[in-house]
Amino acid sequence: MQTDSSFTFVLFGGTGDLSMRKILPALFEAHRAGGMLADSGKIVAVARHAADRGEYIQWVNEHVKPHVSKNGVDETAWSSFLERIEFVKIDLGNPEDFALLRDAVKDLPGIRVFYLATGPSLFVPICRALASVGLNENARIVLEKPLGYDLKSSNAINDAVGEIFAEEQIYRIDHYLGKEPVQNLLALRFGNALFEPLWRREWVESIQITIAEELGVEARGDFYDNTGALRDMVQNHLLQLLSIVAMEPPHSMDSDSVRDEKLRVLRALKPIDPLNIGKVAVRGQYHAGGIRGNAVPAYATEPGVKPNSTTETFVALKVEIENWRWAGVPFFLRTGKRLADRVAEIVVNFRAVPHSALGASALRAGANRLVIRLQPNETIRLYCLAKQPGEGMNLASVHLDLAFDQFFREGQMEAYQRLLLDVINGRLALFVRRDEQEAAWRWVEPILNEWKASNKPPKPYAAGTWGPAAASAMLAQHGTCWLEEEN
C-alpha cells in the first residue's frame, strides 16, 4: 500500500495507554515499512503530562519503544520516526489552549486527522474547541469506543459531533474490523465461487462468535463496573463481526456499499423477547479462581468495583436474523473476562450430509466447519472428514490450513495500522457509520433494561473456566456446543 498523501496526525491523549500500546506502534510500523506514510507527514501529540517535546520524546522512547516491532527495533527507522513527532502541551479542559494547537499545525502539510484517544466525556468538548479555532474544516476525526452509555447518550454525542463534523469526516473505530482474518473472510466469501453458495440457511447449521479474555478488569474497575460486558464488547465488536459474517454481497467495496449491507443485518436482528430472555441471554460474573496456575481474585474484590456489584463480566447470546438468507439459523455470541483462554474466533458449522452411506460419523454436527481465528494467532481453518488409513471405511476429522504467511512474503498488517492508514487516505469502509451504531444500540438496549428491571444477580463462574454452565446449556438445546478445544 503506497501513498503520497501528506497528513498531520494530531493525537489527543498522547501519553495514554492506547497511544502507548497501539496507536504510536502502528504508526511506527507503517513508517518502518516505507512508502505507507508520506515523507512529509507529521504526528502531533497532545497531552498535559509532558513539559515539552524533549520530555515527550523521552516518554516515547521509554514507554512506546518496547511495544514496537516483534522482531526488534530498527534504530535507523526509529530515529527517523521520532523526527515526525511534534508535541503540544494542552489542558483539554481549557478551550483557550487550543489556540496553541492551531498555531502549531497551521504550517504543517496535508489533511488533518484528529484522533481522540481519550474518555468519551471529552469527545464533545474537544470537537467544540477545535471548531472554535477553525480546525474542524477539511479535517477527519477519529472516535474511540465507548461512544455513549446507551442509545440516548450515544445520540447526544453523535448529534454534538455532527454539528461540527460532517458524517464523512467522522471515523468511529472498531479495531476488530481491521484484523487480517476479517478481511480474508470478505475475500473468501465474495472472491470465490466455493463458499458463497454455501453461506446460507440451507447449508449452515449455526455460527459462533467468541471474544474471550484471560485478563480481568485490571486497573479499570471504576470504568468497567459502570459498563459491563454487554456494552463493552457486544454492542460494538461482536455485533460488527456478526454483520460482516452475515451481510449480503455488496455491489462494490466502497464505504457506503459495505456499510449499507452491514446495516441491513443489524436492522434484521430479531428483537429479544423480555419474557424469553432467560433462554437466549446468559450473563455471568467471575468469582475467585485460577488462570494458568495463578490464583486470581473475584470480580467483586477488584479495585474500583463495588462489593455488591451486579455488573456482568460474561455474556452469551442466541441471536437470530430475520431475513431470507439466515431465517432459522442461530448465531451464538460469547464474550467474557477471566475465561480459560484468550481467543477471538468465528466458527461456521455446516449442516451434516442428509444421508450417509459411510456410517454415523458423517452425520455428526460440526463435521464440516470453518474456523476463523482472530487472536492470538490469525488463521483460517476448514474442517472436513476423510478416511483413516487402513482397513474399513473409518472417518476422521482433518483440516486444511489457509496459511497466508506461507503464500505472501510480506508480514500481516496489524489492525490499528490498517485502520490508521485508512483514515489518512480517506477510506471509510472499515469504520462504523452512525446508523449502524444506532441500530446496534436499539437491539442491545432492551436486554440492558430487562436485566436492570429484573434485579437478578449474574450467574457465577470460576475464573479460569469458560463461563456459567447456562451458556453451554443454551447451545445444548440446539444440539451443539461451544468450540473450545482449538489452540
Could you give the residue numbers annotated as active site?
237
According to DSSP, residue 95 is labeled: G
Q: β-pairing, 331-336 with 204-212?
A: parallel
Which parts of 25-174 are beta strand (E)? Answer: 42-47, 85-89, 111-116, 139-143, 170-172
Q: β-pairing, 343-350 with 369-375?
A: antiparallel
Q: How far apart are the C-alpha atoms of 367 and 365, rounded to whole Å?
A: 6
Place of cell 445520540: 155
- Partners of 371 in beta bridges: 347, 381
Q: How far apart are the C-alpha atoms of 249 and 260, rounded to whole Å?
A: 10
Q: How far apart are the C-alpha atoms of 316 and 284, rounded to whole Å?
A: 9
Place of cell 462468535: 209
Nearest to 313 by CA among 240, 241, 376, 221: 221
Nearest to 334 by CA among 465, 227, 187, 435: 465
Nearest to 451 by CA among 283, 338, 269, 323: 283
Q: How far apart are the C-alpha atoms of 45 and 87, rounded to whole Å?
A: 5
* Secondary structure of residue 22 in the 3-state scheme: helix
Q: 395: Cβ–Cβ under 8 A, 6 or more apart, which residues?
A: 358, 359, 361, 362, 385, 386, 387, 388
* Structural Rg of the chain based on CA atoms: 24
Phi, psi (deg, nearest 5) at residue 34: 80, 125
According to DSSP, residue 289 is labeled: E
